[in-house]
A and B are shown apart, each in its own frame.
Chain A
Amino acid sequence: MNTTEDMGMNSERVGRANLNSRGLDRGGLNRALAICWKEWRVALDTPLGYVVAIAFLLATGFFFANHLFLVGQADMRGYFGVMPLLLMFFIPAMTMRMLSDEQRSGTFELLATMPIRTCDIVAGKFLAVMLQVLVLIALTLFYPATLALMGDLDAGQVAAAYLALSLLTACYVAVSLYASAITSHAVVAYVIGFGILFGLFMMMQAMPTFSPDVQNFFAAFMPLAHYHFMLRGVIGLDDMGVLLLVTALFLVLTWFQLERRRWR
């Protein structure tokens, strides 16, 4: 056995080789990417990932075809209108195990005793789900491509809508990740994540019943309101800002939740 021959050499090397020419630590990014890579391996190795992907594509395909053939309109408005509702079901399902399973199975102790910061754990998990959902959304580019072949398609509006959808996805992933951080049960995490998103959705639905002032006040913070503004084809910095702000808020809450459980 030669494990002990260069005792401690690797531990001395660990973390030191990750400084770039400007002296900045790239280790955090590498570790976040390692977590992202691990989550992808798990998603690709388990049937659940494929089931969710197929169900997502079937559901989006149904709503796209429904709008196209039954309503008879060759545009994407119906598709983008129903996407928040679909994502509300799918994203908590794809995120629920991310942190709750780590706590339930004890691997959080493993993760928390490695030389990694909590923000890198959150970043890695967020990136993993975000990329998974974006890949699924990218597969739906087939629908506008089909419409473009059939007739005129406002490419700018569709591009803005996909950007809005990506930002809304980030919001939903951050909310679901937070739900996954506050419990060690995946199903509970799903219910909490879905509950928060459903609550936001219902508030949006109830908006017309409020007075204009109240409507304006809530619209300023509602991710869905800004998503719908962006669907009109205008990319407003304020709309993007609010969607990013809500994402950041729930990521910080997730970070805070994990920080409570581990040593800084």
Chain B
Amino acid sequence: MIKVDQLCRKFGELYAVQDLSFHVRKGEVMGLLGPNGAGKSTTMKMLTCFLPPSSGEASVGDVSLHDSIEVRRKVGYLPENAPSYTDLDVRSHLKFIGRMYGLPNATITDRITEMTGVCGLEHVLHRRIDELSKGFRQRVGLAASMLHDPACLIFDEPTTGLDPNQIIEIRHLIRRLGEKKTVLLSSHVLSEVEAVCDRMMIIDQGKLQVIGTSEELAHHTQGHSVFYVRFKESGEQVLDLLTQSFPDIQIKPQDDQSNAYMLYHSEPDVPLAEKLFHTSVASGAIILEMQSKKKTLEDVFRELTGEGQ
């Protein structure tokens, strides 16, 4: 549905997005992750034909970005901070959006009824937008982006400013939308992306670092699972034992504990716990604590974006 090939965007001499390539399938929710200034919003602005790319190609629903008017018809876009015409009431704002997409009046009325129901705006339909809370304004933005029933939705930080209940509601809504529509969303909240998205990608300094499901993302970094082990003994002796016994596994001593180590292993079928047990028994070392830790998306994010180094 969305195909991006070697997309670049320069501001002066600086690359905001560089050689970005990915695709989002129809009926898939894709999360776009990255630290501030990574190029998430710039990518979205290019895919919604607000900013022209410096080079590269992209298409939405088989329509090239060069046919920008046609792409805009296919895309529903919620920009960051959900801008809206605050001097208007919610109904007038949505009616205006519908007219701008060329919808017939009868369709606009039906869609406003439907979208206000979906986004929980029924009770504020006749209130001016500047009188609404941030959460309601966000919902107005969501309703506006879906009003013309686009096949593809692009949301830039859709849950910013919402309270926990609203966040859960919007997550459910995005999940429901993602059953049939293509959704690309960016977020700073890693747990949100993990909960809502089928796949996700992490970009940093304009470049794609990794793309896949949360499990696949873990594979791309230092091993897909982490093992924590603490010995009674400390010092070089234990480290040498581990290094010799597990040459293919990355071992990191823990800074805060001289006798504890993290073992990163990439082969899921290796019975590491058993091997560790037998090795320690054979060498006479005593294991005090042993724990399998699953790598979180946060670990992956920090590793790939340099935050954890």
Partner of A8, one of B70, B118, B149: B149
A87-130 CB contacts (< 8 Å) to partner B: 105-107, 109-117
Q: How far is the CA of A45 from the CA of B126 in the complex (A)?
A: 13
Fill in one digit per residue for B89-112: 1 if any A CB lies within 8 Å of its CB, else 0: 100100011011111100100010
Instruction: Give B108's nearest chain A residue, CB to CB.
Output: A10
- Given A9-B149, A46-B87, A107-B85, are A30 and B92 also a contact pair (CB < 8 Å)? no
Q: Is the CB of A263 within 8 A of B179?
A: no
- Given A8-B151, A11-B149, A105-B83, are A3 and B118 also a contact pair (CB < 8 Å)? yes
- Shortest Cβ distance from A151 into chain B, in angstroms? 45
Is A85 engaged at the interface, CB distance under 8 Å to the other chain? no
Q: Is the CB of A113 within 8 A of B87?
A: no
Is B177 engaged at the interface, CB distance under 8 Å to the other chain? yes
Instruction: Give B88's nearest chain A residue, CB to CB.
Output: A41
B155-183 CB contacts (< 8 Å) to partner A: 176-177, 179-181
Q: Is the CB of B177 within 8 A of A18?
A: no
Is A38 engaged at the interface, CB distance under 8 Å to the other chain? yes
Chain B contacts of A38 at CB under 8 A?
Answer: 85, 88, 92, 96
Is A37 engaged at the interface, CB distance under 8 Å to the other chain? yes
Is B150 engaged at the interface, CB distance under 8 Å to the other chain? yes
Is A24 engaged at the interface, CB distance under 8 Å to the other chain? no
Chain B contributes a number of interface residues (CB within 8 A of A) equal to 51
Q: Is the CB of B88 within 8 A of A3?
A: no
Q: Is the CB of B102 within 8 A of A3?
A: no
Q: Is the CB of B181 within 8 A of A4?
A: yes
- Shortest Cβ distance from A206 into chain B, in angstroms? 41
Q: How far is the CA of A205 from the CA of B83 in the complex (A)?
A: 45
Partner of B69, one of A10, A111, A117: A117
Interface-side segment among B15-23, B28-36, B45-53, B193-201:
B45-53
Interface-side segment among B73-81, B206-214, B281-289:
B73-81
Q: How far is the CA of A106 from the CA of B115 in the complex (A)?
A: 22
Q: How far is the CA of A4 from the CA of B48 in the complex (A)?
A: 21
Is A150 engaged at the interface, CB distance under 8 Å to the other chain? no
Instruction: Give A38's nearest chain B residue, CB to CB.
Output: B96
Partner of B48, one of A10, A18, A113: A113
Chain B contacts of A11 at CB under 8 A?
Answer: 73-74, 148-151
Is B146 engaged at the interface, CB distance under 8 Å to the other chain? yes
Among B75, B79, B84, the one with the most A-chain Cβ atoms within 10 Å of its Cβ is B79
- Size class of A's contact patch? 35 or more
Partner of B96, one of A34, A115, A264: A34
Q: Is the CB of B50 within 8 A of A3?
A: no
- Shortest Cβ distance from B154 into chain A, in angstroms? 9
Is A15 engaged at the interface, CB distance under 8 Å to the other chain? yes
Is B205 engaged at the interface, CB distance under 8 Å to the other chain? no
Is A262 engaged at the interface, CB distance under 8 Å to the other chain? yes
Partner of B83, one of A31, A35, A109, A263: A109
Partner of B101, one of A37, A109, A114: A114
Chain B contacts of A2 at CB under 8 A?
Answer: 114
Chain A contacts of B3 at CB under 8 A?
Answer: none
- Given A11-B151, A110-B83, A113-B72, are A3 and B146 also a contact pair (CB < 8 Å)? yes
Known: A38-B85, A116-B100; 19 extra A-B contacts, CB below 8 A, are A3-B177, A7-B180, A7-B181, A8-B151, A10-B107, A30-B99, A31-B99, A31-B100, A37-B99, A46-B87, A105-B86, A106-B79, A106-B80, A107-B83, A109-B45, A114-B72, A115-B73, A264-B52, A264-B68
